[in-house]
Structures are given as C-alpha cells and as structure tokens.
C-alpha cells in the first residue's frame, strides 16, 4: 500500500505558462495555501517536480 503526500500551493500560477497552470489544476489546487492529499506515486511526484517553484510538499 502506498502512502499519501500533502501538496500545498504557496505561490500563484498567474504569470506562469499554460502548461504549468494545467499541472497545478491537475493536482486539484485552486486557491493559494490550499493543501490537497494525493497518493505518493511516481505520477504525482513527477507533477510536483514540474512546478517546484509554486508548490511545497507538507510533511
């Protein structure tokens, strides 16, 4: 069984390319400082690595 990771949107994606905005939306993040819990899989880890300047992984 896989664990969970908590992902927090701590910077606004307003002035970022559309591709990065789609990654943030794909993670289910809409508001600043919103925290979502996702399965700790390679797919979600890869999405977080695409926009590390906008997200934080909350422990």
Taking only the tens place, the pLDDT of each residue in 16-58 is 999 999 999 999 999 999 999 999 999 999 999 999 999 999 9
- Output the domain CATH number for residue 26: 3.30.1390.20
pLDDT at 49: 96
How many domains does one find in the chain? 1
Rounded distance between C-alpha atoms, residue 20 and residue 59, angstroms: 23
Q: What are phi and psi of 39, to 5 degrees?
A: -65, 145
Domain span holding position 18: 4-58
pTM comes to: 0.89
**Which 3 state secondary structure label does DSSP give 32?**
coil
């Amino acid at each position: 069984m896989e664990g969970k990771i908590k992902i927090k949107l701590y910077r606004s994606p307003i002035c970022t390319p559309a591709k990065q905005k789609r990654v943030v939306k794909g993670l289910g993040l809409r508001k600043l400082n919103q925290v979502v819990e996702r399965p700790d899989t390679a797919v979600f880890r890869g999405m977080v690595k695409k926009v590390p300047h906008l997200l934080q992984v909350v422990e």
